[in-house]
Amino acid sequence: MPSTLNIAMPDDWHLHLRSGEMLAKVLPFTSQHFSRAIVMPNLPSPVVTTAGAIAYRQEILSYLPKAHQFTPLMVLYLTEKTDPDDVRAGFLSGDISAVKLYPAGATTNSDAGVNDLEKIYPVLEIMEEIGLPFLVHGEVVDAEIDIFDREAVFIDTKLSPIRARFPKLRIVFEHLTTKEGVDYVLSCAENTAATITPHHLVINRNAMLVGGIKPHYYCLPVAKREHHRLALKAAATSGDSRFFMGTDSAPHLSHAKESSCGCAGIFNVANAIAVVTQVFDNENALDQLEKFLSLNGANFYQLAVNEQKMTLTRSNKAIAIPEDIKTSAGKVTAFDPMMDVYWDVTG
Ligand code: DOR
Ligand code: ZN
């Protein structure tokens, strides 16, 4: 069994960086371990135009530590009013790497998202033509659908019709949480892929609900039953080119999560690579790790694999849970995977 691994530098294909002081505090955790990240556009005032994405990218770069090399890949937040010409122009200028669908009301800052999918068909038509990835928060929001079923129902009622109508559209089913989601992606052609988070690889819904309510394990889509986690783990460790890591690291102030109406999101980026490496080691699948962290996503996004390398080392002593981040408005709690992690990034 190897105790050192050398892989191409990873990328994060789904990340929330926020803005202002929170951005300044969380960004170095990403930029020290990832070359690129697909940056989610769900700011309180969402990133809905190419001009907005350029301004947000400038803000991100203004906080980047000088010693770090990191490229934020910008994403447009889809609304029913998104201008297809702006999408095309943003793609052609290289400023936009993807467009994200938030069903209205599905999650944090999604109120400006989409109610009527047919209204976005003109944008999807352009995206299919130019090959711009369509990133999907795959949950229905209907009040009568149980929250644990929202992903599976989304596949049948929303995603399948979109794929049928736009067969060449390049789709990323974000933060998969179900076996149905894994099976769906496996049933599709290569132009449908999925991100999987570190936390959905290691927790099921018990983490959130057993022994008291644990708000730091609450995220959306919520973690599901154990058999779903096992399906996600099998998909990630299989090496299949359609699955790659998106941390979905989503920092919130701890007091906003420890509340009578707590926010969804897990801040996991400080130990994401270590945790995922341990998961692969436990599955005897370290030979597939580089595909999940560094190769499959770059290939899907039609970008070169990073030339820079990363070294991972296994020690005999489990690593500590990362420290909380302190901001002037309060702290952010880091992800505790509730398992021993012996791997860490060492170079
Ligand atoms: O848990 C989540 N947090 N899921 C999302 O879809 C959004 C994210 C956030 O922005 O906080
Ligand atoms: Zn997200």
Q: What is the DSSP string of 177-211?
A: -SHHHHHHHHHS-TTEEEEE-HHHHH--THHHHTT
| Atom 4 of ligand 1: nearest residue by CA position | 220
pLDDT for 146 equals: 98
Measuring CA to CA, which residue among 176, 172, 175 is closest to residue 192?
Answer: 172
Closest atom of ligand 1 to 219 CA is: 1
Q: Is 248 a catalytic residue?
A: yes
Task: For domain 4-345, give the CATH superfamily.
Answer: Metal-dependent hydrolases (3.20.20.140)
Question: Per-residue pLDDT tens for 142-186?
Answer: 999 999 999 999 999 999 999 999 999 999 999 999 999 999 999
* SS3 state at 137: coil
* pLDDT exceeds 90 at position 27: yes
Cβ atoms of residues 277 and 237 within 8 Å: no
* pLDDT exceeds 80 at position 1: no
Quote the ligand 2 centre to 4 CA distance (angstroms): 31
pLDDT for 329 equals: 98
Quote the ligand 2 centre to 14 CA distance (angstroms): 6
* SS3 state at 48: coil
Closest atom of ligand 1 to 40 CA is: 10
φ/ψ of 137, rounded to 5, equals: -85, 105
Global pTM reads: 0.98
Ligand 1 site-directed mutation target among 137, 177, 248, most atoms within 8 Å of CB? 248
* pLDDT exceeds 80 at position 205: yes
Question: Per-residue pLDDT tens for 34-62?
Answer: 999 999 999 999 999 999 999 999 999 99
* pLDDT exceeds 80 at position 191: yes
As a whole number of angstroms, the distance between CA 335 and CA 338 comes to 9
Ligand 1 site-directed mutation target among 12, 43, 108, most atoms within 8 Å of CB? 108
- Please report, for the chain, the start and end positions of each structural domain, with discontinuous segments joined by +: 4-345
Question: Per-residue pLDDT tens for 259-294?
Answer: 999 999 999 999 999 999 999 999 999 999 999 999
Measuring CA to CA, which residue among 203, 200, 267, 280 is closest to residue 237?
Answer: 280
C-alpha 220, offset from chain centre = 11
Q: Is 264 a pocket residue for ligand 1 (Cβ < 6 Å)?
A: yes
C-alpha 170, offset from chain centre = 17
| Atom 7 of ligand 1: nearest residue by CA position | 108
Q: Which of 248, 287, 336, 344 is catalytic?
A: 248
Query: Does residue 65 have a cis bond before it (omega within 30 degrees)?
Result: no
- Mean predicted confidence (pLDDT) in 210-219: 98
Cβ atoms of residues 100 and 77 within 8 Å: yes
Question: Per-residue pLDDT tens for 215-247?
Answer: 999 999 999 999 999 999 999 999 999 999 999
* pLDDT exceeds 90 at position 2: no
- Starting at the edge strand found earlier in the chain, the sheet holding 309-314 runs 4-8, 309-314, 343-345
Q: Is 18 a pocket residue for ligand 1 (Cβ < 6 Å)?
A: no
- Mean predicted confidence (pLDDT) in 126-154: 97
Measuring CA to CA, which residue among 241, 242, 238, 203 is closest to residue 224?
Answer: 203
* SS3 state at 45: coil
Dig out the tokens for 70 from the structure: 């990191």
Closest atom of ligand 1 to 266 CA is: 1
Q: Is 137 a pocket residue for ligand 1 (Cβ < 6 Å)?
A: yes
